[in-house]
Each structure stands twice: as C-alpha cells, then as structure tokens.
Amino acid sequence: QGNASASAGKTKAASCAGCHGEDGNSTMPAFPKLAGQHQTYLVKQLQAFKSGARLAPMMAPLAAGLDEQTIQELANYYAGNKISTNPAPKLPANDDDDAPAKTPEQEKAELDALITKGSDLYRNGNISREVSACVACHGPYAEGNKPASFPSLHSQHADYLIKSLTDFKTGARSNNRENMMHMIATKMTDEDIKAVAYYISTM
C-alpha cells in the first residue's frame, strides 16, 4: 500500500468516474459511493470482482484489466476522499395507480416511522428474529471498522444499500454466501432492509 500513490489512482480513476463520480461520490443511487471507504475493503472488493468471487456484470470486465498496483492506487485515491451527505430521503413514488395520493404530512409520517424503525434495528438488532445489531460491526456512526475491513456505510445511497442487502440475502452477492452478512440478511424482511437502508443513508 505504501508506495501505491493516491495521485496515480486519481488519474486512473477517470474510467470509473462515469458511474462512481469523479471523486467517488456517485450521484446515481444504483452506483455505490466509494469516497471515504476503507482502503482494504475497496481492495478486497476489486480483487473479488476480478476473480469472479463477487459477481457484478458491470464491474467484472473493468476489474479484469486492473493489476495489483492499480487496484492499490485506486483504493488509496477513493479512501482519501470525503463522502458527500445525501439530500433528505423521499419515499419511492407510489406505482399503484388506484391508491389514494398521500398528503405531504402522511408522506413525512411514513418516512419518519421507517427511519425510526431502521435506527432501532441498526442499534439493537431484532432479538426475536435473531438479527444481529449492525452497530457491533459497522460502528455507532456507520463508519465501519478500518482494522477489520468492515465497510463504512454512512451516507451511502439507500438504493444501493437495499440492493446489497437483498443480494446478501439471496446469495447473489456470492463471495458472501456463507459469511456473516448472508446469515444476517436472511433473517431480515424486505421491510427491515428498506428501513435500515433509509436510516443509514441519512447518517
């Protein structure tokens, strides 16, 4: 890591900017923000895309062309940037045409309830369904755990968090089929996933 410079990473990151944003703060919610993520976690994911251990059709062809030095440089670059905070969350548009339109007050109440549920799950887990508390590994501010390479999650896009948790649950995020996130996500309902993702995106 020591000799893999972040400035070399910055130049090479030009080919990633279209999806992840110039500094790793993607604006499109399906593409994860990389800014401020732990260097070792980024390296591990890029190696997993390259080896095929983490299946991701968009990342695989790109990662295949990265040598070890470039992986380290890219990871150093993104890890050194600051993650941007998200705008206030909105509930997804109601696609049921027959449902009565919600007033702004109803929308706000629904969103507040969702985020409160997410915060409770994040901090306390769910004893009856044996969902571990996220705070134990991802930290009180969802800053992750650098020495352990537990990823930072705060200010990540809610849509990407929902996709990741759903992929852990189904096993589609395949390098984690047998690991802790798979075990945890299989105990979560879709509503749990949505609630915790919305909460984390506001941190």
Binding site for ligand HEM (CB under 6 A): 15-16, 18-20, 31-32, 34, 42, 44-46, 56, 58-59, 62, 74, 131-132, 134, 136-138, 150-151, 153, 161, 163-165, 173, 176, 180-181, 184, 196
Instruction: Name which of 152, 165, 12, 136 is nearest 76 in CA terms.
Output: 12
- What is the nearest approach in angstroms of ligand HEM to the Cβ of residue 48? 7
- Report d(CA 18, CA 80) in Å as an integer: 19
Residue closer to ligand HEM by CB (options 27, 94) is 27
- Report d(CA 155, CA 3) in Å as an integer: 30
- Report d(CA 75, CA 114) in Å as an integer: 33
- Report d(CA 136, CA 142) in Å as an integer: 10
- What is the nearest approach in angstroms of ligand HEM to the Cβ of residue 35? 11
- What is the nearest approach in angstroms of ligand HEM to the Cβ of residue 75? 7
From the CB of residue 38, how many other CB atoms can be counted at a distance below 10 Å? 21
- Report d(CA 31, CA 24) in Å as an integer: 10
Residue closer to ligand HEM by CB (options 102, 123) is 123
- What is the nearest approach in angstroms of ligand HEM to the Cβ of residue 58? 4
Cβ atoms 145, 138 nearer than 8 A: yes
- What is the nearest approach in angstroms of ligand HEM to the Cβ of residue 68? 13
Residue closer to ligand HEM by CB (options 60, 107) is 60
Integer Rg of the chain from CA: 18
- What is the nearest approach in angstroms of ligand HEM to the Cβ of residue 27? 13
Residue closer to ligand HEM by CB (options 106, 146) is 146
Residue closer to ligand HEM by CB (options 108, 123) is 123
**Structure token pair of residue 129:** 């369904």
Residue closer to ligand HEM by CB (options 67, 96) is 67
